[in-house]
């Protein structure tokens, strides 16, 4: 898609997740923080969703959301920017840590233009996105027609496929952002 913002030629999609602290506010403030950067243009945020932990054992439910926006940053620089925001919100990435852990904030770069990239620290499109209801449901709300560059299916097509799987976790609850928060 051609960018409507000449200074921000690259479109990107990000998944937000939090299951420690006031997760609803953490995700909302992280979205605002993302927009403060001079290298990021308009960023649309989905509704928040309450979800169960996937791939980990935790008593803490997640708040998940997705955003689609525009940037002048290259993929690796955008990843570093996202990791910087995670750190600002208290995310600690332990060296040698195995498996998923509870976290104050997780920002995953899902898609970047129609790029296919496989680097040691960054894989685009995100290799698990089409298998995760907590990613696809919010992303379909704001970027249903965004095409996955490997499968050539749209986000909504991937969501429909996932919803047909017998073990698909449909226990996802759509929430609303706190009123008066400037969305």
Of 37, 108, 113, 114, the active-site residue reads 108
Instruction: Identify whether 106 is a catalytic site residue.
Output: yes
Nearest-angstrom CA–CA distance, 129 and 64: 13
Whether the CB-CB separation of 123 and 92 falls below 8 Å is answered with no
Instruction: Identify whether 164 is a catalytic site residue.
Output: no
Nearest-angstrom CA–CA distance, 85 and 107: 8
Whether the CB-CB separation of 125 and 150 falls below 8 Å is answered with yes
Catalytic residue set: 91, 103, 106, 108
């Amino acid at each position: 898609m051609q960018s409507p913002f000449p200074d921000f030629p690259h479109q990107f999609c990000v998944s937000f997740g939090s299951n420690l602290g006031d997760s609803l506010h953490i995700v909302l403030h992280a979205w605002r923080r993302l927009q403060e950067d001079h290298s990021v243009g308009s960023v649309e945020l989905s509704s928040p969703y309450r979800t169960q932990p996937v791939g980990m054992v935790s008593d803490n439910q997640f708040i998940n959301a997705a955003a689609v926006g525009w940037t002048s940053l290259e993929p690796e620089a955008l990843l570093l920017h996202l990791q910087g925001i995670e750190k600002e919100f208290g995310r600690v990435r332990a060296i040698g840590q195995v498996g998923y852990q509870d976290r104050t904030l997780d920002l995953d770069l899902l898609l970047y233009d129609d790029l296919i990239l496989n680097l040691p620290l960054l894989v685009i499109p995100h290799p698990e996105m089409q298998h995760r209801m907590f990613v696809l449901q919010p992303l379909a709300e704001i970027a249903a027609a965004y095409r996955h560059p490997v499968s050539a299916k749209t986000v909504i097509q991937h969501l429909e496929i996932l919803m047909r799987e017998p073990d698909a976790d449909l226990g996802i609850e759509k929430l609303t952002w706190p009123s008066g928060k400037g969305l």
